Chains A and B, each alone.
Chain A
């Protein structure tokens, strides 16, 4: 039993890396989602085109290919990243592209009359976004953001392939050292599931908080 607790510690250390990656990746994804999502609604063609190119590019290939590209090809362009940086960058940019479509959809779902009322009240475009549109659009985005965060969590397993010591990597280490396969893989499957469950619980709590006071305002 004591042998297994040692291996379990190894896996839990990996779990910390996985959590760290998920949080940093989500933060980057959130920023990218808002930048690209709002840019797609811009008045200027160049800004819209740039955002569309970003979104289509990152949605057109998988996280695995992007991660390898960032890790192996960017060094030749003079940009050498540690595995953790490469992981956060690839995960954040990839999931951010999916998030951008969510932001765009939610903002567009807010009725035209809201925008017209803002213009009538002489609010600046920034004030309009900040005080009127986004507070109403955010609750619409949350459920899909939750799914995206879980997809990001699942994506972190791929970083084990560029030798970052996350949970999946540690499970492989345990397998290599003990020859036991069921223990490491069953353990990490359960841990991943618990993390996914934690994310969806947290987002549901956030959703309840954000919709407080919005009752009766939406049709």
Chain B
């Protein structure tokens, strides 16, 4: 079978439709991962041992098991206990939760990198715990984390094809349905690969820029 450019132009609009969903899932997933990751990182620092241990184990568990199976779990098991989610919502929760366990490690490292003296100074100037976090610790901890976080968001973007397994009509799923109805696999599959490769390579350039912009130079 030969590469057919006419067919490529014919399927392009459908693929772009799918690509929009892919981007939407990535952005929403990134927001979930960024917020939930911070929550996990803070919970693991909790004074209450049950909370820190429990959340720690849960995060280890999520990180040690496949995202695909977690997506199935959310999509198939939760409806049995009365929680019925749309495929895209289930996908965003699944991918966001999975990557939250990774971003939590980034947050943890970033928070631990803030010198002890900052905490002591915050206490000495009579700031409350939450004031210390919001005005002293996080503003210093977050900028150095940005490149590492961005790295995980790129990884997340590349994992979104898995959402096709729970019937989200993103790029991969559109390509599969085109391929199945036309019996032509070469063009749709190669184009999906090309889409991801191009975006990934562009993001890597963006990442280098972020690293230069935010990487610590003082130590």
Residue ranges of A at the interface with B (Cβ–Cβ < 8 Å): 56-57, 59-62, 64-66, 68-69, 72-73, 76, 150, 153-158, 160-161, 168, 171-172, 175, 181-182, 185-186, 188-189, 192-193, 196-197
Contact = CB atoms under 8 A, between A and B. Distances in A.
B185 A72 contact: yes
B119 to A, nearest CB: 29
Q: Which 10 A-B pairs have the closest CB atoms?
A: A157-B66, A196-B64, A60-B200, A62-B158, A72-B185, A154-B66, A157-B68, A60-B197, A181-B76, A192-B65
B1 A65 contact: no
Contacts of A181: 76-77, 80
A193 B61 contact: yes
Nearest to A158: B68
Contacts of B159: 62, 64
Nearest to A68: B189
Nearest to B76: A181
Interface residues of B, number: 33
A189 B185 contact: no
A61 B171 CA distance: 13
B69 A65 contact: no
A193 to B, nearest CB: 5
Main secondary structure of the interface of A (DSSP, over half): helix
Nearest to B192: A65
Which of B80, B172, B193, B200 has most A Cβ within 10 Å? B193
B26 to A, nearest CB: 12
Contact of B77 (A62, A160, A161, A185): A185
Nearest to A159: B68
Nearest to A193: B64
Interface string B70-82: 1011001100100
B190 interface: yes
B69 A168 contact: yes
Interface in B142-172: 158-159, 161-162, 165, 172
Contact of B162 (A158, A171, A189): A158
B155 to A, nearest CB: 9
Interface in B168-203: 172, 176, 179, 185-186, 189-190, 192-193, 196-197, 200-201
B65 A185 contact: no
Given A157-B69, A185-B73, A197-B64, A73 B158 contact: no
B170 to A, nearest CB: 11
A160 B73 contact: no
Interface in B35-94: 61, 64-70, 72-73, 76-77, 80
A69 B194 CA distance: 11
B190 A73 contact: yes
B124 to A, nearest CB: 37
